[in-house]
Chains A and B, each alone.
Chain A
Amino acid sequence: MNQKFRLENGGLINRDKKLSFKFNGKTYYGYEGDTLASALIANGVHLVGRSFKYHRPRGFFGAGVDEPYAIVQLYRNNETEPNIKATEQELFEGLEAKSVNCWPSVNFDIGAINNFLKIFLPAGFYYKTFMWPKSFWYRVYEPFIRKAAGLGVASTKHDKERYEHKYEYCDLLIAGSGPSGLASAYAAAKNGARVILAEDKPRFGGSLLTSDVNIGNQSGEDWAKSIISELKEMPNVVVKNRSQVFGYYDHNMLVMSEKVSDHLPKTKKHHPKQRLWYIRAKEVLISSGSIERPIVFGNNDTPGVMLSSAAKEYLKVYGVLVGKNPLVFTNNDSGYETAIEFKKNGINPIILDSRVNPQSEIIDEAINLGIKINFSYVVVAAHGYKKVSSADIAKISDDKKQLGTIENIKCDCICVSGFWTPTIHLASQSGNKTKFKEEIDAFVPGTSKQNETTLGAANGIFTLEETLKDSFIAGQDLSKKITNKDNKISFPNVVEKKSSQHDKFWCVPLPKGKSYKRFLDFQNDVAVSDIEIALKEGYRSIEHVKRYTTLGMATDQGKTSNLNGLQLVSDIENKVVPAVGHTTFRPPYTPISIGAIVGREVGKHSKPTRKSPMHSWHEKNNAVFVDAGVWLRPRYYKQGNETLFEASKREAKNVRTNVGVCDVTTLGKIDIKGPDAAELLNRVYTNAWLKLPVGKARYGVMLREDGIVMDDGTTTRISENHYHMTTTTAQAANVLSHLEYYLQLVWPELNVNVVSTTEQWAGAAIAGPKSRKLLEKLFPKNDVSNEGLPFMGYMESDLFGVKARIFRISFSGELAYEVNVESNNGQFMWEKIIELGQEFQVQPYGTEALSTLRIEMGHVAGSELDGRTISYDTSLEGLISKKKDFIGKRSLNREAFTSSDRQKIVGVIPLDKKTSIPEGSHLVKDAQAPLPNKKLGHISASCWSVEHDNPFSLAILKDGKNMIGEKLFVMSPLKNKVIPVEIVSSHYVDPKGERVRS
Chain B
Amino acid sequence: MLHIKCPYCGMRSQNEFSYGGDASVKRPELNKEISDEEWDNFVYNRKSLRGKHLELWQHLSGCRQWIKVERDTTTHEIFNTYKADEEIS
> Which residues from chain A sit less than 8 Å from chain B, CB to CB?
167, 249-253, 278, 280, 431, 449, 683, 705-706, 737, 740-741, 744-746, 748, 884-886, 890-891, 894
Contact = CB atoms under 8 A, between A and B. Distances in A.
Most A CB atoms within 10 A — which of B31, B64, B75, B85? Answer: B64
B1 A249 contact: yes
11 contacts: A167-B13, A250-B1, A251-B78, A431-B75, A740-B64, A741-B20, A744-B65, A745-B66, A748-B84, A885-B30, A890-B39
Given A748-B84, A885-B31, A252 B3 contact: yes
A744 B42 contact: no
A758 B78 CA distance: 35
Given A278-B1, A741-B20, A891-B39, A251 B65 contact: no
Given A449-B75, A705-B42, A748-B85, A890 B64 contact: no
Nearest to B76: A250
Given A280-B3, A885-B30, A251 B43 contact: no
A705 B66 CA distance: 18
Interface in B30-48: 30-31, 34, 36, 39, 42-44
Contacts of B34: 890
B51 to A, nearest CB: 15
For the complex of A and B, 9 pairs with smallest distance between CB atoms: A251-B3, A885-B30, A885-B31, A250-B76, A744-B66, A253-B1, A744-B84, A890-B39, A746-B27
Contacts of A431: 75
A894 B34 CA distance: 13
Given A251-B1, A705-B42, A741 B76 contact: no
The secondary-structure label for the interface of chain B is loop
Contacts, number: 53
B56 interface: yes
B43 A705 contact: yes
Nearest to A737: B58
Most A CB atoms within 10 A — which of B39, B44, B56? Answer: B39
B84 to A, nearest CB: 5
A748 B65 CA distance: 12
B62 interface: no
Contacts of B65: 744
Contacts of A737: 18, 58, 60
Given A250-B76, A253-B1, A890 B27 contact: no
Contacts of A748: 84-85
A741 B20 CA distance: 9
Nearest to A169: B11
Contacts of B18: 737
B2 A251 contact: yes
Contact of A253 (B3, B30, B39): B3
Contacts of A683: 30
A759 to B, nearest CB: 15
Nearest to B67: A744
Contacts of A885: 30-31
A884 B78 CA distance: 41
A741 B2 contact: no
Contact of A251 (B39, B56, B58, B76): B76
Most B CB atoms within 10 A — which of A431, A748, A890? Answer: A890
Contacts of B30: 683, 885-886
Given A890-B39, A891-B39, 9 more contacts: A250-B2, A250-B3, A250-B76, A253-B1, A705-B43, A737-B58, A737-B60, A740-B64, A886-B30
Contacts of B58: 737, 740-741
B67 to A, nearest CB: 9
Nearest to A252: B3
Nearest to A249: B1
Contacts of B64: 740
Nearest to A743: B66
Contacts of B44: 706
Most A CB atoms within 10 A — which of B18, B20, B31, B66? Answer: B66
Most A CB atoms within 10 A — which of B27, B30, B31? Answer: B30
B72 to A, nearest CB: 11
Contacts of A249: 1
Most A CB atoms within 10 A — which of B31, B56, B76? Answer: B76
B54 to A, nearest CB: 13
A737 B31 CA distance: 24
Nearest to B30: A885
Interface string B45-89: 000000000001010100011100000000110100000110000
Nearest to B60: A737
Contacts of B78: 251
